[in-house]
Amino acid sequence: MPTPLSRIPARALVAALLATAFCAQAVAALRPHVPLLLASTVVSLAVEGVLYRWHRGLLSVFAKSHADITVRHVLRDLLLVVALLRLGEQHRETLYTPAVAGLLAFYALHCAIQAVSVLVRRTRTLPVVTRNIDASALRLSPAPPVLLRRPGHRLLVFGLPATAGLLATAATDDPRCAALGIALSLGLGLLGLYDLLVRLLPGRRPAGEREVLEWLDAWLAEYRPTAGLYFSGGASSAYQANMWLEPLARIQGRPVIVLRERFMVQKIGPTDVPILCLPKVSTLMRLEDSSLEVLIHPSNSGKTSQVLRIPTLKHAFVNHGESDKLSSCNPYAKAYDEVWVAGPAARERYALAEVGVEDKDVVEIGRPQLDAVRPREAAQAGGLTTVLYAPTWEGWDGNPGNSSVIEAGENLVRALLADPGVRLLYKPHPLTGSVDPRAGAADLRIRELIRAAGRERSGERPGDNAELALRTQELDRLTTTAVRAGADQVERMLLQSAPEPGRAAAVAAATAAWEEAYWASLPEGEHQVFTEARPALYSCFDRADLLISDVSSVISDFLASGKPYAVANTSGLAEDVFRKAFPTVRAAIVLTPDAAGVPDLLETVRHPEKDELVEARAELKRHLLGPDEPASQVRFDGAVQALCSAAREHRARMAERLAAEAATEIPDQRRSPTPPQPAHPA
């Protein structure tokens, strides 16, 4: 049975259409046929536009096959020249010699522009990338136009007049059209080359590597950072660092954020804390001579070992969340000076895991991020039971018990939607489906189920959303910088300079106002799917009467509210074994993959007198998160200051030892009054 056209991949159709256009152009050139030549060339150019607009992935496939844009463009123009030569008499070879020479000059100019653009890019690739720091002394400037930096786009645009001129000559037999088109292409190329060459002048290009490093040393000496956040990872892992931005900004001293990947500078959330990206190890090592004393690590990475080599720094591992999973007691943690955990449960977890982390190095700091989570008695009350389903992702090890999305997600959602007294909020983990495609597919089905139910239930929307629009505009103004699409890192450094005083407080106030306006804008009782950064997970905590999740840090964090929670058991373990294996489930209602226990769960939430786990949750909260007093932020700051003090003491001891060694007189054999005599042969 033939495959329906709709099922043929779009990329295959585009590739086939481009190949067909070139074949048709070749036939039209070798057996001169002007209408076919015109049509095939136009189609070929149109497909090129489609490739660059919607199918960029196919461009790399062509490049790997040595059929990149330069080859395709040269072939297209070559076939046009062949057609012109074959359309008339032999004397046409002499007639079109200048046009061919001009075309060759244009392609030589294209190569020259590409070479100079590479030089410009290198001068604009600084050894340090900054944000929230005034780096104007480095002669930062706007980036060159995108056309001058992307050879494919440039060749298509600059070469279009030449191709159009050749086509017009083929149609009219007037060589002046080709000459005019080629002249325009040459003119565009010369203008582009001039623009790039000017940027290489000593006063126009950014500071060189040596000058940038000297500036970095001067900035470190002036700012005198005390404690920082160190982070390295992939683009999707930025949330691990972002959850520690606010606690870091509120510590005593002068915080800084140290990154290793250039792209990560823009992935870090809104903050006023200075950000330094130091991609090279040699640049990173300059921190040894700075005032920086402590680095806090929310995750492990291959590049973590590089910064651990700096002897003047103390390092603390804080993780990006605590759960009963093995990743919460990784053996890598023993590489740090201290491991900071929320409460006694994590301390016990490290002791039981026997991964080399000594108990004396474990410090309980609570979870500073949870200080603002509203407790149960302050949560909003309403006629509906608001359920937050926030499953975690599938993880790297393929354990079916990691995430409930695949085996239980749809059953849970259907059971919740079947109850007319439930309002469902769904917020999946951002990495869902990144490892197991089944999780991604299940997540999409769950979203569609909830949205379909939401459309059926959708009640009367608040008439005026002007307040939300105003709050969104204000929050965006404070948290984003208007940067054009073609900006490079140097241009972003120029625009994202030192923040205005008081911006952090303004962002906090604007965020609170936005959340209030956002929740007020939603129809009462309408089911919601949240896949964006806003609203934040903790804002959903405040709106929920019940959480359903998996064994993850989400349930540990939700315990700060004191509200009921349930955990889906997709591990295959019996319930008693499951509870014993994962202490965070101790105060939870355990649900089976078929979601049979959902009605009883909802009954317990609606009738607090039937809730037999109130005391268990309070006790587990203290066990997992530590005491309520002092506040977690205070304990976190205290741990930072204590480790900074330890770092200063270590530096003082090392300085004393080096001074003592320098004072010790060591004989210099080169100045010995009686140099050793050579041995005489026996």
Long-range Cβ contact pairs of 475-484 (< 8 A, separation 24 or more)? 475/507, 475/510, 475/511, 475/513, 475/514, 478/270, 478/503, 478/506, 478/507, 478/510, 479/269, 479/270, 479/507, 479/510, 480/270
Residue 7 has pLDDT above 60, yes or no: no
- In angstroms, the Cα distances linking 247 to 227, 250, 328, 476 are 12, 5, 20, 22
Span of 119-133, 206-220, 362-376, 591-605 with lowest mean pLDDT: 362-376
**Tell me, what amino acid is at 174?**
D
Over residues 201-218, mean pLDDT: 95
pLDDT of residue 350: 87
- Taking the C-alpha atoms of 228, 233, 234 and 236 in order, what is their torsion angle to the nearest 10 degrees? -60
What is the per-residue pLDDT across 244-294, written as a single tens digit (0 to 9) for each? 999 999 999 999 999 999 999 999 988 999 999 999 999 999 999 999 999
Q: Is 139 buried (19+), middle (13-18) or exposed (0-12) by CB count in 10 A?
A: middle
d(CA 200, CA 357): 53
Exposure class string for 322-343: b at 16+ Cβ within 10 A, else e: bbbbebbbbebbebbbbbbbbb
Site of tokens 């005489």: 680
Contacts of 478 (CB under 8 A, 6+ apart): 270, 503, 506, 507, 510
What is the per-residue pLDDT across 212-248, written as a single tens digit (0 to 9) for each? 999 999 999 999 999 999 999 988 889 899 999 999 9
Q: What is the average pLDDT score of the chain?
A: 88
d(CA 30, CA 455): 60
d(CA 118, CA 107): 17
Confidence of residue 363 (pLDDT cuts 50, 70, 90): very high
Beta strands 338-341; 362-364: pairing state: parallel
The share of the chain scoring above pLDDT 70, in percent, equals 92
Over residues 123-145, mean pLDDT: 95
Q: Contact at 8 Å (CB) between 11 and 55? A: yes
d(CA 342, CA 331): 18
Residue 10 has pLDDT above 90, yes or no: no
Other beta carbons within 10 Å of 207: 18
Cα dihedral sign for 270, 272, 273, 276? positive
pLDDT of residue 355: 84
DSSP string, 217-256: HHHHHHH---EEEEE---GGGHHHHHTTHHHHHTSSS-EE
Nearest to 156 by CA among 114, 192, 185, 187: 185
pLDDT of residue 375: 78
The share of the chain scoring above pLDDT 90, in percent, equals 54
Confidence of residue 51 (pLDDT cuts 50, 70, 90): confident
φ, ψ (nearest 5 deg) of residue 605: -70, -40
pLDDT of residue 330: 79
Choose between 300 and 52: higher pLDDT. Answer: 300
Confidence of residue 441 (pLDDT cuts 50, 70, 90): very high
Q: How far apart are the first and last CA of the chain?
A: 100
Residue 324 has pLDDT above 70, yes or no: no
Q: Which residues pair with 568 in a beta bridge?
A: 591
- In whole angstroms, what separates CA 253 from the centre of its chain? 28
Confidence of residue 463 (pLDDT cuts 50, 70, 90): low
pLDDT of residue 270: 87
Other beta carbons within 10 Å of 461: 12
Q: Contact at 8 Å (CB) between 547 and 563? A: yes
pLDDT of residue 541: 92
pLDDT of residue 131: 96
Helices (H) and strands (E) counted in the chain, each on its own, are 27, 14
Residue 346 has pLDDT above 90, yes or no: no
pLDDT of residue 383: 80
pLDDT of residue 381: 45
Choose between 328 and 371: higher pLDDT. Answer: 371
d(CA 271, CA 249): 8
**DSSP letter, residue 409:** I
